[in-house]
């Protein structure tokens, strides 16, 4: 029975470092077959680059998804077509570069992966429900199971998309808020659901950035530079077991590892340049 680990938004160097040091050991200890990670904040907190996508793959990330920050790094639009383990959100304009879904194959198990962006409190996009239905129908033909990520601000929109996909996706998992939710559940028709996987990054922060300038910005409304925070780095995600014959989840749980918990999985080999 394949086990899939979905990692929530990897934020900056702290997030990349915890993936590098913990994922190989965690993967082995938990017998994970496929790892999917949202890396929309991996590059300095905003966007992704080809170099960082290759690093994440080298540390055990089989597939990378993105969100509203997909184009924050200027070079990335030109790089993404060459990254066949990376997909951009599916409900962007069809002419946008990059794959709008992935099919990851592991020991004969084929997992379809795609992301839809929500539209509440986010810029206008193509309808995530229409796009999700088209993707779910298509991937059902060519995959054993489907992971559908909902990258959205509003919990209501995420829950609605979860019920919408019930019975078609093995896992519907939310991202974007960077705050994990305690609602991992099996829906009525066998879809595993979690409103938000939480961020993989520094929690002594406001969703990954140093708190103090953000507090000041809330108070006086003046622009400031928001640096990626450094402390209380955690690995957050959802672990799901999938029954291949049905494409449905049999069990799932939130994984939220604080530093004293992730040390046990830590790789002794700390060499390797992790950049900035
Ligand atoms: Fe994010
Ligand atoms: Fe986001």
Domain count, the chain: 1
| Closest ligand relative to 39 C-alpha | 1
In a domain, 206, yes or no: yes
pLDDT tens for the chain, 276 residues: list them.
999 999 999 999 999 999 999 999 999 999 999 999 999 999 999 999 999 999 999 999 999 999 999 999 999 999 999 999 999 999 999 999 999 999 999 999 999 999 999 999 999 999 999 999 999 999 999 999 999 999 999 999 999 999 999 999 999 999 999 999 999 999 999 999 999 999 999 999 999 999 999 999 999 999 999 999 999 999 999 999 999 999 999 999 999 999 999 999 997 655 444 444
| Closest ligand relative to 199 C-alpha | 1
In a domain, 275, yes or no: no
| Residue 135: CATH number of its domain | 3.60.21.10
Q: How many angstroms separate the alpha carbon of residue 152 from the centre of ligand 1?
A: 10
The token duo for 208 is 């990954």
User: How far is residue 159's CA from residue 115's CA, in Å, rounded to a whole number?
Assistant: 15
Q: Angle at CA 54, nearest 5°, toward 73 and 249?
A: 100
The 8-class DSSP code of residue 138 comes to H
Cα–Cα distances in angstroms (integers) from residue 134 to residues 38, 54, 88, 114, in the given order = 22, 29, 16, 11
Q: How many angstroms separate the alpha carbon of residue 257 from the centre of ligand 2?
A: 21
In a domain, 121, yes or no: yes
In a domain, 218, yes or no: yes
Would you call 93 a catalytic residue per the annotation?
no
Residue 155, SS3 per DSSP = helix
Domain span holding position 14: 3-265
- The DSSP bridge pattern shows strands 3-7 and 34-38 to be parallel
């Amino acid at each position: 029975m394949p086990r899939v680990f979905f990692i929530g938004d990897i934020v900056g160097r702290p997030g990349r470092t915890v993936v590098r040091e913990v994922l190989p050991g965690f993967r082995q200890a938990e017998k994970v077959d496929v790892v999917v990670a949202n890396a929309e904040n991996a590059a300095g907190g905003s966007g992704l680059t080809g170099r960082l996508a290759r690093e994440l793959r080298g540390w055990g990330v089989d597939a990378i998804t993105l969100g509203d920050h997909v184009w924050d790094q200027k070079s990335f639009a030109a790089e993404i077509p060459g990254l066949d383990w990376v997909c951009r959100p599916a409900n962007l304009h069809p002419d946008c570069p990059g794959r709008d879904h992935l099919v990851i194959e592991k020991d004969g198990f084929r997992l379809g992966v795609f992301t839809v962006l929500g539209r509440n409190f986010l810029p206008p996009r193509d309808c995530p429900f229409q796009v999700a239905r088209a993707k779910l129908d298509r991937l059902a033909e060519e995959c054993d199971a489907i992971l559908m990520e909902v990258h959205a601000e509003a919990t209501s929109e995420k829950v609605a998309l979860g019920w919408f996909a019930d019975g078609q996706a093995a896992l519907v998992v939310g991202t974007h808020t960077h705050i994990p939710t305690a609602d991992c559940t099996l829906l009525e028709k066998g879809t595993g659901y979690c409103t938000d996987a939480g961020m993989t990054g520094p929690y002594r922060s406001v969703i990954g950035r140093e708190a103090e300038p953000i507090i000041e910005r809330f108070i006086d409304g003046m622009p400031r530079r928001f640096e990626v925070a450094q402390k209380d780095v955690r690995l957050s995600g959802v672990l799901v077991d999938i029954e291949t014959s049905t494409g449905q989840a049999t069990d799932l749980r939130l994984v939220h590892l604080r530093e004293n918990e992730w040390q046990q999985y830590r790789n002794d080999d700390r060499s390797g340049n992790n950049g900035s």
